[in-house]
Structure 1
Amino acid sequence: MGGLPLQLMDKATFLDFTVEIIRRSETAKGFEILPRRWVVERTFGWIIRWRRLVKDYEQRIDVAEAMIHIAMGSLMLRRNAHP
């Protein structure tokens, strides 16, 4: 399990991406709006529409990655076809 974050960071470095982890402040009490967190939550909401991606059923990470690509490609195709 420890290999996935390392693979992600290696790929981000290779593609010259900057990965920023948004954490909640230690001093915050109650609800606090976190910057750009909604983008991640919205994307997870879109992925949940694909029943196979609701849980991690896949044995291999490449198959899971391919299913995510199919789901996001389908979403993009649907949005471009019906603006």
Structure 2
Amino acid sequence: MDDFPKRWIVERAFVWLENFRRLTIDYECHADTAEAMVQIAFCKIMLDKIIV
């Protein structure tokens, strides 16, 4: 993983987040709620990668 540029890793993470419809449109009124949704999305992404 060290041979990938850091920018590419960040861009890949944003692509993963685009798969979550709730995150593509800003439905949340509070920044705390939006941040929690991003954390939940990443938890699901990582769990899917561990389980497979």
The bucket for the TM-score relative to the shorter chain is 0.7 to 0.9
TM-score, with structure 1 as normaliser: 0.54
TM-score w.r.t. length of structure 2: 0.82
Specify which structure has the bigger relative contact order, considering alpha-carbon pairs within 8 angstroms and separated by 6 or more residues: 2
Aligned residues: 48
**CA-based RMSD:** 1.0
Aligned amino acid, residue 30 of structure 2: R
- Correspondence list, 1:1-83, <5 A: 35-82=5-52
Counterpart-to-counterpart distance in 2, 1:57 and 1:40: 23
Gaps of 5+ in 1: 1-34
| Structure (1 or 2) with the larger CA radius of gyration | 1
Query: Which is richer in helix?
Result: 2
